[in-house]
């Protein structure tokens, strides 16, 4: 037997916490057991089975100790493959437009006025969809709408494609769903009622803090904030039984406002309605101040009010890998250019393929480079949090080709802090 490469131990209150990142599991032991483990580990580990057989059994059961010939890196590779190479699910992301009716200061997208998917590219997408639906292995099909603000092209692009898909899956066993990343301004009840019939089941809608702060960031025109409109439309989604991820973007200025006032606006939700909304906390990438402790305090208040929360800092980039990492996914821009990642500008030099006249995608070298980019970074292969990090996503791997890198700055204390905070988030 040998100790797992993926063990991490740290103190918490009166305990020593052990975490194995491949198992994604914690154990709590006292300092005496930890001392026993350390003292026998470098002498004869099998002594531990004699001195404390119950402790030894726990360590083996939780895979803190594994057979000496076990290839744990291969186990991680198999885990990644099982997540990222699932042929049963096809995920298509469509940008109907790169125009938007808002101009938020932190948005990384280049808004293109008058950009709209034309009829030629709509027909190409329909052919692409038909080819995927005809693949016998596909059991689940998802369309996500992104941009720009996708609802700017609701009648011209979104409806024709959704109606087409629903018509062609009605006699199949394929499970279809659709979702939107939207600013929420253009939503109305008539739209939601029809979208629900077309199997739309989720919106991601952003609030930039409570009313005053939000209205300074997201406004339709000067002195005309959008908070009340967006809040009202989130409630419309919930009333129509369509789930919402309420993304709350955070900067130092947002934190300085009392974000918990948002809770009061949703205080009239019953328990069933609360199940339909998740408050997702995300520090904007331009903010350099560490807001983690403040965010955790705010999350605890939301949770105390029985509201579901998520926090992107504790994202497991292996088990919950980015859609861009997955083989069976494509992002089609309004002009027919094809991408994987949606967190970079949709510029021609960034594209990874082109949608052809027959609906097939002609991928370029950048796509194949992306799909072969994982497990090529030596520091990752030696790291004890490889099974939850793996160097973040394929985009990070592409951005760092030819050099050793670590998204945690090669700082072991930062890695331990991530696991400690992961524990605190789970406990809270």
Model confidence over 59-116: pLDDT tens digits? 999 999 999 999 999 999 999 999 999 999 999 999 999 987 776 655 555 667 778 9
pLDDT confidence band for 51 (50 / 70 / 90): confident
| Domain(s) of CATH 3.20.20.70: residues in the chain | 86-365
pLDDT confidence band for 223 (50 / 70 / 90): low
Say whether 19 sits in a helix, a strand or coil.
strand
Pairing of strands 329-332, 337-339: antiparallel
What are the backbone angles phi and psi of residue 192, rounded to the nearest 5°? -65, -40
Q: Which pLDDT score, from 0 to 100, does residue 144 have? A: 98
Query: What mean pLDDT, rounded, does the chain reach?
Result: 91
pLDDT at 272 over 80: yes
Q: Which pLDDT score, from 0 to 100, does residue 259 have? A: 84
CATH 3.20.20.70 fits 86-365, yes or no: yes
Helix or strand (DSSP H, E) at 169: helix 159-169
The DSSP code sequence of 291-330 is -HHHHHHHHHHHHHTT-EEEEGGG--TTTT--GGG-TTEE
Give the residue carrying structure tokens 């027919």: 336
Token readout for 362 is 């002609």
CB 77 within 8 A of CB 17: no
CB 8 within 8 A of CB 416: yes
Token readout for 234 is 């989130």
48-57, 127-136, 356-365: which has the minimum mean pLDDT?
48-57
Q: Which pLDDT score, from 0 to 100, does residue 316 have? A: 86
Q: Which pLDDT score, from 0 to 100, does residue 398 have? A: 92
- Residue 224 pairs with which residues in a beta bridge? 221
Q: Which pLDDT score, from 0 to 100, does residue 221 have? A: 61
Q: Which residues of 37-76 are buried (b: 16+ CB within 10 A; e: fewer)?
A: beebeeeebeebbeebeebbebbeebbbbbeeeeebbebb
pLDDT digits (tens, 9 = 90+) for 165-205: 999 999 899 999 999 999 999 999 999 999 999 999 999 99
Average pLDDT rounded to a whole number, residues 338-347: 91
CB 207 within 8 A of CB 225: no
CB 157 within 8 A of CB 122: yes
* Bigger pLDDT: 260 vs 272: 272
Distance CA 403, CA 376 (A): 10
pLDDT digits (tens, 9 = 90+) for 273-294: 999 999 999 888 677 788 888 8
pLDDT digits (tens, 9 = 90+) for 233-264: 999 999 999 999 999 988 888 887 778 899 99
Percent of the chain with pLDDT over 90: 72
pTM value is 0.90
CB 293 within 8 A of CB 252: no
Rg, Å, the chain Cα set: 24
Q: List, in order, residues 6 or more apart from 334 with CB less than 8 Å away.
A: 95, 96, 97, 98, 115, 116, 117, 121, 147, 148, 157
Q: Which pLDDT score, from 0 to 100, does residue 222 have? A: 59
The DSSP code sequence of 172-187 is S--EEEEEEEE-STT-
User: What is the number of H-type helices and E-type strands within the chain?
Assistant: 17, 18
Distance CA 51, CA 49 (A): 6
pLDDT confidence band for 43 (50 / 70 / 90): low
Q: Other CB atoms closer than 10 Å to residue 106's CB: what's the count?
A: 12
96-105, 315-324, 362-371, 416-425: which has the minimum mean pLDDT?
96-105
Token readout for 304 is 């105390």
pLDDT at 35 over 60: yes
Nearest to 153 by CA among 209, 94, 241: 94
CA angle 384, 385, 387 (to 5 degrees): 115
């Amino acid at each position: 037997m040998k100790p797992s490469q993926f063990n991490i131990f740290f103190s918490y209150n009166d305990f020593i916490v052990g975490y194995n990142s491949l198992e994604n599991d914690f154990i709590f032991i006292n300092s005496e057991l930890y001392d026993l483990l350390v003292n026998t580990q470098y002498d004869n580990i099998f002594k531990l089975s004699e001195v404390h057989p119950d402790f030894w059994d726990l360590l083996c059961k939780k895979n803190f100790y594994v057979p000496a010939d076990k290839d744990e890196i291969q186990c991680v590779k198999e885990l990644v493959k099982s997540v990222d190479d699932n042929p049963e699910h096809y995920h298509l992301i469509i940008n109907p437009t790169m125009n938007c009716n808002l101009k938020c200061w932190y948005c990384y997208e280049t808004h293109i006025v008058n950009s709209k998917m034309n009829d030629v590219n709509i027909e190409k997408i329909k052919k692409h969809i038909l080819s995927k639906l005809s693949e016998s292995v596909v059991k689940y099909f998802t369309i996500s709408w992104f941009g720009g603000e996708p609802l700017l092209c609701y009648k011209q692009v979104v409806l024709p494609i959704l109606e087409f898909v629903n018509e062609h899956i009605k006699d199949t066993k394929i499970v279809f769903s659709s979702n939107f990343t939207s600013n929420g301004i253009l939503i109305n009840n008539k739209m939601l009622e029809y979208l629900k019939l077309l199997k739309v089941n989720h919106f991601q809608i952003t609030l930039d803090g409570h009313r005053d702060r939000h209205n300074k960031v997201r406004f339709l025109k000067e002195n005309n904030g959008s908070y009340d409109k967006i809040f009202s439309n989130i409630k419309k989604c919930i009333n129509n039984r369509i789930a919402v991820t309420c993304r709350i973007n955070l900067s130092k200025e947002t934190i300085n406002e009392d974000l918990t006032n948002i809770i009061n606006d949703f205080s009239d939700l019953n328990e069933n309605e609360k199940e339909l909304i998740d408050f997702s906390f995300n520090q904007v990438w331009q903010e350099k101040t560490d807001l983690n402790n403040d965010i955790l305090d705010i999350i605890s208040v939301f949770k105390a009010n029985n509201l579901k929360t998520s926090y992107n800092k504790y994202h497991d980039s292996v088990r919950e890998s980015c859609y861009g990492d997955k083989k069976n996914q494509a992002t089609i821009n309004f002009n027919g250019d094809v991408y994987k990642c949606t967190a970079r500008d949709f510029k021609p030099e960034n594209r990874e393929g082109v949608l052809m006249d027959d609906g097939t995608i002609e991928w370029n070298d950048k796509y194949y480079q992306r799909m072969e980019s994982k497990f090529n970074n030596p520091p990752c292969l030696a790291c004890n949090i490889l099974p939850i990090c793996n160097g973040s996503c394929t985009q990070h791997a592409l951005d760092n080709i030819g050099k050793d890198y670590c998204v945690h700055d090669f700082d072991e204390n930062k890695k331990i802090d991530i696991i400690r905070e992961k524990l605190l988030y789970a406990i809270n």
